[in-house]
Structure 1
Amino acid sequence: MKFPLASLALAVALLPCLPEPSHAENKVTFPPAGHGGTQQPAPVGGQDAGHGAAQAAAHGNTAAPAGGHAVGPAAPAEGEALCQGFGPQTPRDIGNPFGRNPVSFGLAPPPEEMNLCNIHTHTNAEHLGPGFSIYAGPGEHGGFKCAGSANLSPAELSRPSGPARFDGVEPGDTIEVHWVYSSCDVAPGPGLGSCLSDSCSNPELRVESQVFLVVNDPNALDFRDFIYLGTMRGGHYQARDLPSGTGAPVVFRGSTTGPSYSQQTCSPLQVTWSVRPRCARLDISTLDAWAGMGNIFEETHSHGVRRLVTAPALLSQIE
């Protein structure tokens, strides 16, 4: 998500159905044959390795080539210089723990000990994970899709009528939702600026992330269960709840995201990430309802993605 330039004086843009994918068409071959760039080590367990306000939804489907594998994102071309002197970057393949970025920092406290300062969504997953590994293409409308996203019924793919609409998302889309937490004494609000204050310009930041497969199904999860409605616990602003049942979150050190950043133009902020590895089904009518409620974050549409970071020099080691 891209925040106003005024907020960037202190910081930069900030900012997963339940079954594990097991079919070849849900896997990513990375890097694709014929692409140069930094070689990635094989991930543990034998898995394949592998916001900018964007108001248009990312609906493109990438056909699987011969062999049944979705073509993964291209590695950086040889000769493209990586940014230097920055800490670990995000998004990443959460199934591959390898990284050799030398910058380390303490992990942020758990969310219940911090203040919720922002909630926003990205169309398609920014991260690559076991439950969201179908490559959707490069650029801010790319990213990754949930397993099962190509096997939905016409009813699940229909858009319910109603007075409100959350733009940039259609039934069948994948979205990655970010709950952003700050160590500052701040209240929830729009943009990264809500996570900072005049007296707290360098906070600890934490992002809780869940990837959803958006469907027209009243039996799917209700997004309003996870929003901010004035909840405070232990003196901290909190979401009503955070998603569960989608696997133990993968916790790692990274950065803010956004399509204005790349492996050549890095984000300077240090962020603790907590990314759940599997998708959950989300009823689109509840996302529309959130927009219709006039949420405090002024979120009316889903945002674009930052391209996957793959260079080990820009990644932390997942502990």
Structure 2
Amino acid sequence: MTSTAQSPAASELPIASPITPYVATLVSDPATPALTDAAVRRAAQALPGSPPVRWLDPGIAADLVFTPGEGEEPRAIADRVRESLAGEPVDIIVQPLIGRRKKLFLADMDSTMIGQECIDELADFVGLKAKVSAITERAMRGELAFEPALRERVALLRGLPVGVVDRIVAERITLTPGGVRLVRTMRAHGAYTCLVSGGFTLFTSRIALLTGFHEHRANRLVVTEEHLDGVVEEPILGREAKLATLRELRAAQGLAAHETLAVGDGANDLAMLGEAGLGIAFRAKPAVAAAAHARVEHADLSALLYIQGYRREDFSAD
């Protein structure tokens, strides 16, 4: 669920200095491994000193540790490496080597931790999926302000039995590959995890339980006699609320900014992604991918573990 697209006014990844070790992580989709020795060599040649490879998972993920030139910016380095791979289905994330293992993880739900937009699936039960999906798409791209767009779509759901949520979760919702592994592995290594969504608690409560998050936050739909009223409780959880959640949980856990990780796909994730120590745009709209610290376009959510330096043998079971 998403909102107006603007570049985040929050922190960027730091500019490299000549003495700061950096790491370029290369990741492909585990379902179709595509990271070859030749691709890694080409990537290494695009980096200072042609660094040696450290495999995290053969054929799927590898690290290249290097010392960049003074003033080089991580996204610019990642773009250079990406160009060297000439269209190979491999994601490249560049960041400081020190501090890459994160202790707080926030994730968007719709089109990130799950493959669907829940409000669109609700609308299908009243024959309005096409209309609602069009509004959702515009909101995801940042063409509409989030709050009025959400109110407009929720109003169209008036009278819908709340019981359809169980059917939707059982029959239509698919967890994004790698998501359960990501959450469980981070928890096993001491990180705190939160599912934070511009969607609805009717769904986040179920998805958080299925995937293993410590907690979830989302909007509440007003329900009367087991039917939706077509109204969402105020205040609406959107862009600023996601940012506030990150700041609140970071303070509660006593963490520094660089110890946090966030992932999302839409415009109302931008402030959260910008505030995180590392903000990942996951299969996101162009404006979001361009503004985030880094982007994942080919791999599944387990990429966020490799990005933190986890090896395949460190993963928890799904």
With structure 2 as the length reference, what TM-score do the two structures score?
Answer: 0.26
With structure 1 as the length reference, what TM-score do the two structures score?
Answer: 0.26
Structure of greater relative contact order (alpha carbons < 8 Å, 6+ residues apart): 1
Relative to its length, the structure with more helix (as a share) is 2
